[in-house]
């Protein structure tokens, strides 16, 4: 019995890969892959150093604040995603908006906390605030990275696999399906061609939004059903913003719906804990 057990363990050890990538690094690697492919193929970035500035700003602030408030050097995967997202999504001829947006994003995790949880997705907070307040200097990425379908399909497929592996595919899927339904509804209401309503989701901004922003484990509710409901509500809020002709509709939708859902969940959990067993 013990031998058998021992043999089984040995077999398992033999099959164990020599190198196993920590799940935390899959998303950063994927987003880096998107960035490199996009930039080397089409020159999507304003410049290397501006993107570098946003990444470095995010990493440095995360290190400092993590050390001060948690007493340790934090893993930087999350800050890296924030920095690189800002680096890709911000379009400005000036450098300071990149640093500013990154700084606001990371700092929001430490300032805007309820019951120990930060309630906004950091880059969503930073981008929404920046787009709203610094509209004269910066804008969001709103164009295609080239127009070939192949890279688009590769990114969507690869992103889906990765997000599936991270067990958050249902969030992205709910949002995408909802987006298409609402696009159809908008087209019906406004009379605009359906193709123009679905046009935005074929762009890179949505790839980042769908795979990295709305699925952020730290700022989504815990239950699977709840996550789907929130993704649907984000799409619904975006639908409303789009009817109001708001350019950054998805960011603002998540900005309002995400924290609201988190607050409800926090309140609900607190209430449940107070109830006598």
Q: Rule CB under 8 A: is residue 193 a binding residue for other proteins? A: yes
| Options 68, 150, 225, 277; binder of other proteins; rule CB under 8 A | 68
203 binds other proteins (CB under 8 A): yes
Instruction: Determine if 147 is a binding residue for other proteins (CB under 8 A).
Output: yes
- Of 26-34, 77-85, 94-102, 258-266, the window that binds other proteins (rule: CB under 8 A) is 94-102
Region of 208 please: left (phi>0), alpha (psi -120 to 50) or beta.
alpha
Among 56, 198, 229, 263, binds other proteins (CB under 8 A): 198
Q: What are 56-63's contacts with CB under 8 Å, separation 24+?
A: 56/83, 57/83, 57/98, 57/99, 57/102, 57/103, 57/106, 58/82, 58/83, 58/86, 58/102, 58/103, 58/105, 58/106, 59/83, 61/102, 61/103, 61/106, 61/107, 62/106
Neighbours of 61 (CB within 10 A): 22
Shorter beta-carbon distance to other proteins: residue 23 or 142: 142
How far apart, in whole angstroms, are the C-alpha atoms of residue 99 and residue 87? 9
Nearest distance in Å: CB 39, other proteins: 10
Coil/strand/helix, residue 40: helix
Q: Which stretch binds other proteins (CB under 8 A): 27-35, 72-80, 123-131, 267-275?
A: 123-131
Euclidean distance between the first and the last CA atom of the chain, given in angstroms as a whole number: 44
Q: Is 92 in the site for other proteins (CB under 8 A)?
A: yes
Taking CB under 8 A as the rule, does residue 192 contact other proteins? yes
Q: How far is the CB of 72 from other proteins (least distance, A)?
A: 14
Residues that bind other proteins in the complex, under the rule CB under 8 A: 42-43, 46-47, 65, 68-69, 91-94, 97, 100, 103-104, 107-108, 110-111, 129-131, 133-139, 142-149, 152, 190-193, 195-200, 202-203, 205, 245-247
């Amino acid at each position: 019995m013990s031998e058998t057990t021992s043999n089984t363990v040995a077999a398992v050890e033999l099959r164990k890969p020599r190198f196993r990538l920590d799940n935390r690094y899959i998303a950063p690697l994927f987003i880096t892959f998107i960035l490199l492919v996009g930039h080397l193929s089409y020159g999507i970035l304003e410049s290397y150093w501006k993107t570098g500035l946003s990444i470095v700003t995010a990493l440095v602030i995360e290190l400092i604040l993590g050390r001060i408030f948690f007493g340790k050097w934090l893993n930087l995967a999350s800050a890296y995603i924030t920095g690189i997202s800002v680096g890709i999504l911000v379009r400005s001829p000036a450098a300071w908006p990149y640093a500013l947006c990154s700084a606001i994003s990371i700092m929001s995790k430490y300032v805007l906390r309820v019951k120990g949880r930060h309630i906004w997705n950091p880059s969503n907070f930073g981008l929404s605030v920046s787009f709203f307040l610094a509209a004269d200097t910066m804008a969001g990425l709103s164009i295609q990275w080239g127009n070939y379908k192949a890279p688009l399909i590769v990114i969507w497929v690869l992103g889906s696999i990765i997000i599936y592996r991270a067990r958050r595919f249902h969030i992205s899927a709910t949002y995408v399906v909802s987006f298409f339904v609402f696009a159809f509804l908008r087209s019906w209401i406004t009379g605009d061609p359906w193709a123009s309503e679905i046009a935005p989701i074929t762009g890179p901004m949505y790839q980042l939004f769908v795979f990295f922003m709305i699925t952020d484990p730290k700022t989504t509710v815990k239950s699977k059903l709840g996550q789907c409901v929130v993704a649907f509500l984000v799409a619904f809020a975006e639908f409303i913003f789009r009817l109001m002709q708001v350019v950054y509709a998805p960011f603002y939708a998540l900005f309002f719906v995400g924290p609201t859902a988190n607050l409800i969940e926090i309140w609900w959990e607190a209430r449940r804990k107070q109830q006598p067993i």
